[in-house]
A and B are shown apart, each in its own frame.
Chain A
Amino acid sequence: MRLKFPRTLKTGFTNFYRNGWLSVATISIITVTLFIINIQFAVVISDNLLLNDIKERVSISVYFKPDTTEQDVLIAKDEFSRYQEVASIDYISKEKALEEFKKENVDNEIMLKSLDEIEINPFEPTLSVKAREPRDYDLIARAVNESAYKDFINTVNYDKYSNVIDSLGSEIDSNRQTGLALGITLTIIAILITFNSVRITMYAHSREIEIMRLVGSSNNYIRMPFVWEGILYGLISAAIALPLSFIYLKFVAIPEASGVVLPFSNSVYIEQFLREIFVKNAVKIVPAELGAGILLGVISSVIAMGRYLGKPRK
């Protein structure tokens, strides 16, 4: 064991070096694999950021008639809160609505003046309802309109968002599914390609393996140099793929984000992904990427080795 370790490591390095273009080709394939997985990963996470953002921004505004008492509005709020589809409800009183309007139009003197002149608060008490899932807004709006409080309600401001919400909800869903399917398919293809190139490496060494077996080498001793070689492939590939993905996202995807290269993600969310998730979790992501590279190389090596080893034929 003491001798096995440095010897197989040395052989692994020598094989790697002597393989020349085969090593370059194998590394390229693993690099592309990891790159594609990285980008898929970034797209899915950016999509999630986008979805969360939309969920944050979208709500149904339920405007009550101006003379509805605060108590009635709060009772209605409690009732609506019981709907399973509702995530949260904010109550905005007439006064608060006026205050916020003034704050927003602090530069618009005419508007503020005219508000002062009419002397009454023209705003209506409002409930701002957020749904758990975008697709549920339609359902909630209908339920509110048919509830026991419908006589207090002036308007349910949902219609102008309805198309956007509906299409966003279903598009994000289908986008996630195609993204996942694409990711899995590409990964499988990439693993097959990697496996195949390791097989080619093995084939190039089949004579050496045959002789090792003939002179009484243990299976582990035969396997180890190829495992080292696989580790080397994966390590180098990961070291290339990770910065490459970062550079691609930052300098290609963000400026060009048009929904074609990265469907449904725009530069804002990729930027957010890089800044808030990638950079902050680099300590975890870098080892994970290297680990994934090593795993890909090692698993492919070990599977590819299989047919050269084994017991005497029956």
Chain B
Amino acid sequence: MIECKNISKIYLGDSPALENISFKIEDKEFVSIIGASGAGKSTLIKILHAEEKPTSGEALFDGEDIVEYKKKQIFQHRRDVGVVFQDFKLLPKKSVFENVAFAMEVAGKTDEEIAEDVPKVLEIIGLEGSEEKYPHELSGGEQQRVAIARALVNRPKVLIADEPTGNLDPESGWGVLESLIKINEYGTTVILATHDREAIDKLDRRVIVLKDGKIVSDKKKGKYELEEK
């Protein structure tokens, strides 16, 4: 599904953000990427989402190199790979329904498809009945779940969550993680970048640890350990 081969990213005049990163993520896997601030998590996510290009190396998605994508393929890629961020990135002037529908409009879906799919997705993440509410009327956890619904509504193959619980209290955070687990069980590959020690320990899934732009450990059932013992 996703395979990174010797990816390096060097910002001008800086020490490398990523150095020779190689890993493989299988279809329907749930992978957490952890590391201190500046370890390279965000850079890696931006490369996987085709927002930045690596300085060298290959990032294969279904066997094709993201780095070589043409413009059109980039737009399609971003629909195949949904993203969720720490700050939710919802539009404050749009209702919950409109925020989710927005992603479908952009993808050129018809109004009928939108009317059918949006309520379904909201139900999966447990927000049925909140369609007409605006983001400021929701709790942080609920807002993040709207963002997940938006990322999910175009049926992406992969969902990337970049610190999705960073702004949430532990309880809401766990609610968001439960949504991610559910989504993963429905068959979407999930990549979770996080600082959240408790979350990682509870998840008991594969963990990749980044430090100073390098992979220091990659365990099938990892705990939150930044240093290799």
Contact = CB atoms under 8 A, between A and B. Distances in A.
A18 B92 CA distance: 13
Contacts of A20: none
Given A217-B75, A311-B71, A211 B102 contact: yes
Contact of A215 (B53, B74, B106): B106
Contacts of A312: 50-53, 74
Given A208-B91, A211-B89, A312-B53, A216 B110 contact: no
A138 to B, nearest CB: 67
Interface string A1-13: 0011001000000
Interface in B87-121: 89, 91, 93, 102-103, 105-108, 110
A95 interface: no
Interface stretch (B19-27, B34-42, B76-84): B76-84
A66 to B, nearest CB: 88
Given A312-B53, A313-B52, A313-B53, A215 B107 contact: yes
B52 A217 contact: no
B52 A7 contact: no
Interface string A211-222: 111111111010
A214 B80 CA distance: 11
A82 interface: no
Contacts of B151: 215
B150 interface: yes
Contact of A221 (B71, B83, B106): B106
Interface residues of A, number: 21
B71 A216 contact: no
B69 to A, nearest CB: 9
A207 B85 CA distance: 13
Contacts of A211: 89, 91, 102
Contacts of A219: 71
A314 interface: yes
A312 B109 CA distance: 25
Contacts of A216: 75-80, 103, 106-107, 154
B89 A207 contact: yes
Interface residues on B, range: 20 to 34
A221 B109 CA distance: 13
Interface string B136-150: 000000000000001
Nearest to A309: B71
B106 A212 contact: yes
A201 to B, nearest CB: 15
Contacts of A213: 78
A166 interface: no
A212 B110 CA distance: 17
Contacts of B49: 214
Interface string A299-311: 0000000000001
A226 to B, nearest CB: 15
Nearest to B104: A215
Nearest to A10: B105
Contact of B51 (A3, A218, A313): A313
Most chain B CB within 10 A, of A208, A214, A216, A221, is at A216
Contacts of B82: 215
Contact of B108 (A4, A18, A212, A214): A4
Contacts of B93: 18
A207 B53 CA distance: 22
Contacts of A212: 102, 106
A210 interface: yes
23 contacts: A3-B105, A3-B108, A3-B110, A4-B108, A7-B105, A18-B93, A207-B89, A207-B91, A211-B89, A211-B91, A213-B78, A214-B49, A215-B102, A215-B150, A216-B75, A216-B78, A216-B80, A217-B75, A217-B106, A218-B71, A218-B75, A312-B51, A312-B74
Given A215-B79, A216-B76, 9 more contacts: A3-B105, A3-B108, A18-B93, A214-B83, A215-B107, A216-B77, A216-B103, A217-B106, A313-B52
- CB-CB nearest 7 A-B residue pairs: A216-B78, A216-B79, A217-B106, A215-B103, A218-B75, A216-B75, A313-B52
